[in-house]
Amino acid sequence: MSIPRRILEERFRRFVEEDIGHGDVTTEYTIPNGTVVTAHIIAKEAGVIAGIEEASMFIESFGLEVDPLIEDGSKIRERTPILHIEGDAATLLSIERTLLNLLSRMSGIATTTNRLLEKIYQAGYKTRVASTRKTAPGLLHFDKKAVIIGRGDAHRRGLDDMVLIKDNHISIVGSAKEAIEKVRERVSFSKKIEVEVTNIDDALEAAKTGVDIIMLDNFSPKQAKEAIDLLERNQLRTKVLVEASGGITEQNILEYASTGVDVVSLGEITHSAKVLDISLDIINIKKQKF
């Protein structure tokens, strides 16, 4: 657990607050005070489940009891119960949709990430699959966590996580070389430095400066292969990590993996992943004395 429950609870509260607005009127008018239910959250599709830990905190923070039935990262078949819940019916119905939205999104991201990774591993490559910062606004933590659960690499978790010199920084400073020098003068010893390059020559130049990682931006697989070969010929391949990014999709990912790059990163695993279909079934109802 990398973010304490108390901090995440505040985010869950805000999510629900937006939906609930002036009150869940349907629940208010239909559910008798003190009704207690037991319910299952069920994944209706097969996939990799993510969000069990977050959902458990979410549910408990609203005063309900929860029993996780599987662990985060489990590959499950369709119609698998994943969480068992017991508690106040009105509260459960009021948070149901928000809770399912979180689980469905996280599981969708984990499932997509994992599918790409398996494709690569089954083809015999060891390339890492990394996410980008192309997440939904406000969901950086949850989207990245889902990528990790799907066995992907989170890459930078935020703008503070590593120095990543991109095209816009370079165009303002004047050249990648100058940008790297400026960073070197001031950066903490605790940070890695990555630089984005747009052609093979720049890749070589960047590697010579001793940066930790080079990002090949929008290289075709063929160009990426040439960059790798050039680094090897210059005996720089072992000194630098190489990431390919831009234009990578589920269709062409193996071509990129075959070039020998260390990492491929793609935005679509977070910004456009199909959610996993997950729903809530009430399995028992009892009336508690007030």
Residues forming the active site = 97, 134, 166, 196, 217
Binding mask 257-276 for its own copies (x = CB under 8 A): -----xx----x--xxxxx-
Tell me whether residue 10 is exposed, middle or buried, using C-beta atoms within 10 angstroms of its C-beta: 0 to 12, 13 to 18, 19 or more: exposed
Distance in angstroms (rounded) separating the CA atoms of residues 277 and 107: 9
Q: Which of 77, 124, 126, 189 binds its own copies (CB under 8 A)?
A: 189
Minimum distance between the CB of residue 205 and its own copies, rounded to whole angstroms?
Answer: 17
- Which 109-128 residues touch its own copies, going by CB under 8 A? 128
Report whether 251 contacts 115 (CB < 8 A).
no
Interface with its own copies, residue 289, by CB under 8 A: no
- Which 18-47 residues touch its own copies, going by CB under 8 A? 18-31, 33, 35, 37
Name residue 104's amino acid.
Answer: S
What is the SS3 assignment for 188?
Answer: coil
Candidate ranges 42-50, 75-83, 162-170, 225-233; the one touching its own copies (CB under 8 A) = 162-170
Distance in angstroms (rounded) separating the CA atoms of residues 65 and 85: 6
> Judged by CB, which is closer to its own copies: 19, or 233?
19
Interface with its own copies, residue 241, by CB under 8 A: yes
Distance in angstroms (rounded) separating the CA atoms of residues 181 and 284: 65
- Which 66-105 residues touch its own copies, going by CB under 8 A? 71, 88-91, 93-98, 100-102, 104-105
Minimum distance between the CB of residue 279 and its own copies, rounded to whole angstroms?
Answer: 10
In the chain, DSSP assigns E strands to: 35-43, 47-48, 65-68, 75-76, 80-88, 128-130, 163-165, 193-197, 213-217, 241-245, 263-265, 278-287
Minimum distance between the CB of residue 167 and its own copies, rounded to whole angstroms?
Answer: 9
Applying CB under 8 A, the site for its own copies has a residue count of 112
